[in-house]
Amino acid sequence: MAGSSHGHTPAAWTGVIIAFIGFCISGAFMVMNQPLGFWGGMVVVALGGVVGMAMRAAGLGQPKTAHHVVVSPRADVTPRAEAVASAEG
């Protein structure tokens, strides 16, 4: 995947950073035996996913792959017309 920019977007970075902070919060409260704080951290993890998806929807994420378009060597001739022209003559 050389040359791919998969995951190198503001939406991805922001979502992952928020989720990482949530995991750290959950881990700290789990060690301190505080279930309420643990679940609060898990809410922050889920919030990271929601923020990432919202940013992607706002256009800050990876663009969807487009279909490849076949381009004719001559811009004024469509590929079908070019095939007919070459068959005729």
pTM of the model as a whole? 0.65
Residues 30-75 have pLDDT tens digits of 999 999 999 999 999 999 999 999 999 998 888 777 555 666 566 5
Rg (CA), the chain: 25
Angle of helix 35-55 versus helix 10-31 axis, rounded to 10: 180
Give φ, ψ of 11 to 5 degrees.
-65, -45
